[in-house]
Amino acid sequence: MIRKLYVLIVVILLLAACEIQPDNNEGNAEETIGNPTAEEVLSSSPDADIFMAGDIIYSNAEDIDWVMEADLTLGEEVMEITKQSTNIQEFESGTATELPVGTKIFDHNEHRGAIYIAVVEGEEIRYIGLIEG
Protein backbone atom coordinates (compact mmCIF):
# COMPACT_ATOMS: atom_id res chain seq x y z
CA MET A 1 0.00 0.00 0.00
CA ILE A 2 2.77 2.43 0.91
CA ARG A 3 4.60 1.60 -2.33
CA LYS A 4 1.47 2.37 -4.40
CA LEU A 5 1.08 5.67 -2.56
CA TYR A 6 4.73 6.49 -3.23
CA VAL A 7 4.34 5.72 -6.96
CA LEU A 8 1.18 7.83 -7.11
CA ILE A 9 2.94 10.79 -5.47
CA VAL A 10 5.90 10.50 -7.88
CA VAL A 11 3.53 10.39 -10.88
CA ILE A 12 1.63 13.45 -9.62
CA LEU A 13 4.89 15.35 -9.09
CA LEU A 14 6.11 14.44 -12.56
CA LEU A 15 2.86 15.56 -14.14
CA ALA A 16 2.90 18.80 -12.15
CA ALA A 17 6.46 19.47 -13.31
CA CYS A 18 5.54 19.08 -16.98
CA GLU A 19 4.82 22.33 -18.77
CA ILE A 20 2.30 22.49 -21.59
CA GLN A 21 3.79 24.48 -24.46
CA PRO A 22 1.47 27.03 -26.07
CA ASP A 23 0.59 26.64 -29.72
CA ASN A 24 2.34 29.37 -31.73
CA ASN A 25 -0.76 29.68 -33.89
CA GLU A 26 -2.58 31.20 -30.92
CA GLY A 27 -0.56 34.39 -31.20
CA ASN A 28 2.00 33.55 -28.55
CA ALA A 29 5.53 34.49 -29.55
CA GLU A 30 8.10 31.73 -29.33
CA GLU A 31 11.39 32.80 -27.79
CA THR A 32 14.40 31.34 -29.54
CA ILE A 33 17.51 30.84 -27.51
CA GLY A 34 20.72 30.86 -29.49
CA ASN A 35 24.11 32.43 -29.73
CA PRO A 36 24.14 36.21 -30.17
CA THR A 37 24.56 37.41 -33.74
CA ALA A 38 26.68 40.31 -34.97
CA GLU A 39 23.44 42.22 -35.56
CA GLU A 40 22.33 41.76 -31.93
CA VAL A 41 25.73 42.74 -30.53
CA LEU A 42 26.22 45.77 -32.77
CA SER A 43 22.63 46.94 -32.29
CA SER A 44 23.17 47.20 -28.55
CA SER A 45 26.86 48.23 -28.69
CA PRO A 46 27.77 49.87 -32.02
CA ASP A 47 31.42 50.29 -30.90
CA ALA A 48 31.85 46.63 -29.87
CA ASP A 49 35.23 45.03 -30.59
CA ILE A 50 34.12 41.67 -32.03
CA PHE A 51 34.97 39.15 -34.71
CA MET A 52 33.19 36.13 -36.12
CA ALA A 53 34.71 32.64 -36.25
CA GLY A 54 32.43 30.05 -37.81
CA ASP A 55 29.01 31.00 -36.49
CA ILE A 56 30.26 32.30 -33.12
CA ILE A 57 30.80 35.96 -32.25
CA TYR A 58 33.89 36.62 -30.10
CA SER A 59 34.04 39.77 -28.00
CA ASN A 60 37.08 41.58 -26.58
CA ALA A 61 37.53 40.26 -23.04
CA GLU A 62 39.80 42.96 -21.58
CA ASP A 63 37.14 43.83 -18.97
CA ILE A 64 36.53 40.23 -17.88
CA ASP A 65 38.86 39.56 -14.96
CA TRP A 66 38.84 35.75 -15.02
CA VAL A 67 39.70 35.71 -18.73
CA MET A 68 42.53 38.20 -18.32
CA GLU A 69 43.91 36.48 -15.21
CA ALA A 70 43.85 32.98 -16.73
CA ASP A 71 47.27 31.51 -17.43
CA LEU A 72 46.91 30.78 -21.15
CA THR A 73 49.53 29.90 -23.75
CA LEU A 74 49.09 30.25 -27.49
CA GLY A 75 47.91 27.13 -29.23
CA GLU A 76 47.40 26.53 -32.91
CA GLU A 77 46.25 29.18 -35.35
CA VAL A 78 42.54 28.79 -36.05
CA MET A 79 41.88 31.58 -38.52
CA GLU A 80 42.89 34.93 -39.95
CA ILE A 81 40.81 38.10 -40.12
CA THR A 82 39.88 38.61 -43.78
CA LYS A 83 37.60 41.64 -43.57
CA GLN A 84 37.01 44.63 -41.31
CA SER A 85 33.45 45.96 -41.15
CA THR A 86 30.66 47.18 -38.88
CA ASN A 87 28.03 46.53 -41.55
CA ILE A 88 25.89 43.67 -40.22
CA GLN A 89 24.94 42.59 -43.76
CA GLU A 90 28.64 41.99 -44.52
CA PHE A 91 29.43 40.17 -41.28
CA GLU A 92 30.61 36.59 -41.84
CA SER A 93 33.28 34.28 -40.51
CA GLY A 94 36.61 36.12 -40.65
CA THR A 95 35.06 39.59 -40.23
CA ALA A 96 36.11 41.88 -37.36
CA THR A 97 35.01 45.33 -36.28
CA GLU A 98 38.42 46.51 -35.05
CA LEU A 99 41.07 43.87 -35.66
CA PRO A 100 43.00 44.62 -38.84
CA VAL A 101 42.83 42.35 -41.88
CA GLY A 102 45.58 39.75 -41.62
CA THR A 103 45.36 39.39 -37.83
CA LYS A 104 46.05 35.81 -36.81
CA ILE A 105 43.64 34.23 -34.32
CA PHE A 106 44.88 31.44 -32.05
CA ASP A 107 43.33 28.90 -29.73
CA HIS A 108 45.02 28.32 -26.38
CA ASN A 109 46.57 25.15 -25.00
CA GLU A 110 44.49 25.10 -21.83
CA HIS A 111 40.90 23.88 -21.89
CA ARG A 112 39.21 26.77 -20.15
CA GLY A 113 36.26 27.97 -22.17
CA ALA A 114 35.70 29.56 -25.56
CA ILE A 115 38.65 31.96 -25.54
CA TYR A 116 40.64 32.92 -28.62
CA ILE A 117 43.75 35.07 -28.69
CA ALA A 118 44.38 37.61 -31.44
CA VAL A 119 47.97 38.70 -32.01
CA VAL A 120 48.37 42.27 -33.25
CA GLU A 121 51.90 43.68 -33.61
CA GLY A 122 53.15 41.14 -31.06
CA GLU A 123 50.43 41.99 -28.51
CA GLU A 124 48.02 39.28 -27.38
CA ILE A 125 44.36 40.33 -27.17
CA ARG A 126 41.90 37.90 -25.60
CA TYR A 127 38.38 37.39 -26.91
CA ILE A 128 35.59 35.29 -25.45
CA GLY A 129 32.94 33.45 -27.44
CA LEU A 130 29.40 34.67 -26.89
CA ILE A 131 27.75 31.30 -26.43
CA GLU A 132 24.31 30.78 -24.92
CA GLY A 133 23.49 27.71 -22.96
Contact 118, 78 (CB under 8 A): no
pLDDT score at 133 = 64
Distances (CA, A) of 98 to 37, 58, 73, 116: 17, 12, 23, 15
- A 10 A CB-CB count for 58 gives 24
**What confidence tens digit (pLDDT) does each residue in 91-105 have?**
999 999 999 999 999
Going across the sheet that includes 74-80, the strands are: 74-80, 104-108, 115-120, 123-129, 56-60, 50-53, 95-96, 83-84
Domain assignment present for residue 4? The answer is no
CA distance 44 to 57: 14
Domain assignment present for residue 8? The answer is no
CA distance 43 to 128: 19
> Containing domain of residue 120, as a range?
36-129
Considering its fold, how many domains does the chain have in total? 1
Of 21, 56, 23, 15, the C-alpha closest to 38 is 56
Domain assignment present for residue 16? The answer is no
* Residue 25 DSSP class: G
pLDDT in tens, the chain (133 residues): 444 433 334 334 333 444 434 444 444 444 556 899 999 999 999 999 999 999 999 999 999 999 999 999 999 999 999 999 999 999 999 999 999 999 999 999 997 679 999 999 999 999 999 998 6
pLDDT score at 120 = 97
Q: Read out DSSP for 100-115?
A: PTT-EEEEESS--SSE
